[in-house]
Amino acid sequence: MNNRHFVKITASILTVILTLSVVFISLDSFSPAAGARATQAQVDNLREEKKDYERQRNEIQSKINAIEFERMTELAKKSVLDDRIMLTGLEIDNINAIIYQYSILIKEKQYEVAIAQSAENAQYQKYKDRVRDMEENGVISYLELIFDSTSFSDMLARLDFIGDIMSADEKVYKDLIEARNETIAAKEALEQIKFEMEEEKAALEQKEAELKQQLEEANEFIRELEQNLQAERALRALVAEEEARIQNEINAKVEELRKIAEQQRLAKGTGELMWPANGSLTSGYGWRTHPVFGGKRFHNGIDIGAAHGSNVVAADSGTVIISAYSSGYGNYIVISHGNGMTTLYAHLSSRSVSSGTTVSKGQVIGLIGSTGVSTGPHLHFEVSVNGSRINPMSKL
């Protein structure tokens, strides 16, 4: 009887050990990759960044609501509207980053739930085996251990053994409860993360709607100016003056780079330009007629229609000589490709390279937008050779 009891206890323990081994081996196949683990600290940092964006947004909105806004020049007003659009874009990027971190956290929590559930199942099987063993042997097995003793000292030893068995039975039950509580806690943590992720998705949808409305307001602002002959002429005069100033700045920087190039090697382009955005030509280089008043004005580059927020890439390798905002061009970037050639990328929603950065052909430098004097998302693209603008199509 005693031997049979020991055999059953040993068999139960071995069964649990083997079960856990199989469980951990099988779960290892879907364990999160090393280095891909997200921490709550990363999410918290992104949320702090989110709060800072909200503060900036309130400041910009207060500026728009203030009386001083009405006293600003038209281009200054558009600049404020552009700031609001750019900030909303940053908020959208921030929320997308939070959602991405949550997606990683969910995978990790799902893994933890699977581990906890497997441990609970194994502990439950161990508990069932022990209960079944007790049912088969009954209380009589304990009495037999006592009555079969050959001496008083033997009986005391057997009583200690029975106490150990009873303690082991109690531990099996407590381990089962603990394993079940761990499973419940892991599942609750998973559901909480899923809930927070859904909140962020709702916030993202709201921000995207806000961005759409803000873009339309900014575009309508420029359209209204263009419907007024006097305002449109003043606007274009300011833009032309600004374009001339920027071209002079470009020429000065190119000359400065030429002198530096004599002393050290600088990044140079191939001389062959690639299409800088995923879109089609919507306006060519040269004279074009105003759709309302019929007056002609010269278009110094080409316009490429593309989706708001899509990539703008460097048309060739080179060095960024300007990365700035202007009232006419909005966010714009100028790259020097060596041999006197430069390319200009305007109306960007955001810029991802700064002045002095070396870029390679095809590298993302910004995103399509409608900042500055623009009535819709597109890329205004210019090419200059030895200080004079030329038709970009001759190089593309």
Give 259's pLDDT tier (boundaries 50, 70, 90). Answer: low
| Tally of domains within the chain | 2
Residue 249: pLDDT over 70:
yes
Query: 58 vs 11, which has greater pLDDT?
Result: 58
**Contact status, residue 318 vs residue 361, Cβ threshold 8 Å:** no
pLDDT of residue 243: 83
For 316, the 3-state DSSP assignment is coil
Note whether 351 and 213 are same-domain residues. no
Cβ atoms within 10 Å, residue 365: 21
Rounded Cα distance between 355 and 332, Å, is: 11
Of 165, 195, 225, the one marking the end of a domain is 225
Compute the C-alpha angle 113/115/120, nearest 5°: 90
Does the pLDDT of residue 364 top 90, yes or no? yes
| Residue 318 clears pLDDT 70, i.e. is over it | yes
147 C-beta neighbours (distance < 10 Å), count: 10
- Mean per-residue pLDDT over the chain, rounded: 78
12: Cβ–Cβ under 8 A, 6 or more apart, which residues? 126, 129, 130, 133
Q: Is residue 295 pLDDT above 90, yes or no? A: no
Give the pLDDT of residue 291: 52
pLDDT at position 40 is 77
**Each residue's pLDDT tens digit, 72-121:** 777 788 888 899 999 999 999 999 999 999 888 888 888 888 888 888 88
- Both 66 and 194 in one domain: the answer is yes
Length of the chain: 396
Question: 38 and 141: one domain?
Answer: yes
Q: Are residue 33 and residue 137 in the same domain, yes or no?
A: yes
Q: Do 302 and 160 lie in a common domain?
A: no
- Is the pLDDT at 260 greater than 50, yes or no? yes
Tell me: do 34 and 72 sit in the same domain: yes
Torsion (CA) 394, 272, 357, 326 in degrees, nearest 10: 10
Q: Are residues 221 and 263 in the same domain?
A: no
Is the pLDDT assigned to residue 315 strictly greater than 90?
yes
Q: What is the distance of C-alpha 352 from the center of its chain?
A: 15
Model pLDDT, residue 28: 45
In this prediction, residue 140 carries a pLDDT of 45
Query: Confidence class of residue 154 from pLDDT cuts 50, 70 and 90?
Result: low
182 pLDDT band, cuts 50/70/90, is confident
Residues 6+ apart with CB under 8 A from 268: 317, 318, 337, 338, 339
Whether the CB-CB separation of 319 and 336 falls below 8 Å is answered with: yes
pLDDT value of position 149:
57
Find, among 364, 355, 371, 276, the residue nearest to 322 by Cα: 355
Q: How sure is the predictor about 14, in pLDDT bands with cuts at 50, 70 and 90?
A: very low
- Per-residue confidence (pLDDT) for residue 241, from 0 to 100: 80
Query: How high is the pLDDT of residue 134?
Result: 61
* 390 pLDDT tier (thresholds 50, 70, 90): very high
Confidence of residue 34 (pLDDT cuts 50, 70, 90): very low
Tell me, yes or no, whether 210 and 306 share the same domain: no
Q: How many CB atoms lie within 10 A of CB 385?
A: 14
Q: Which of 196, 225, 254 is the last residue of a domain?
A: 225
Confidence of residue 69 (pLDDT cuts 50, 70, 90): confident
The residues near 344 (Cβ < 8 Å, ≥ 6 apart) are 250, 301, 329, 332, 333, 334, 380, 381, 382, 383, 384
Same domain for 331 and 353, yes or no, is: yes
Is the model's pLDDT at 273 over the cut of 90? yes
Which of these ranges, 148-157, 297-306, 362-371, has the smallest mean pLDDT? Answer: 148-157
For residue 203, the enclosing domain spans 2-225
> Which run of H or of E encompasses 121?
helix 74-137
- Residues 318-328 have a mean pLDDT of 91
Lowest mean pLDDT among 182-191, 277-286, 353-362, 385-394: 182-191
| Domain assignment of residue 232, yes or no | no
Residues 284, 393: contact at Cβ < 8 Å? yes
Q: Above 60 in pLDDT, residue 201?
A: yes
Pair 121, 270 in one domain? no
Mean pLDDT over 307-319 rounds to 94
293/384 same-domain check: yes
Confidence of residue 60 (pLDDT cuts 50, 70, 90): confident
Look at residue 191 and tell me if it is in a domain.
yes
Whether 219 and 308 map to the same domain: the answer is no
How does residue 1 score in pLDDT terms, banded at 50, 70 and 90? very low
pLDDT band at 65 (very low <50, low <70, confident <90, very high): confident
pLDDT band at 23 (very low <50, low <70, confident <90, very high): very low
- Asked whether residue 246 is assigned to any structural domain, the reply reads yes
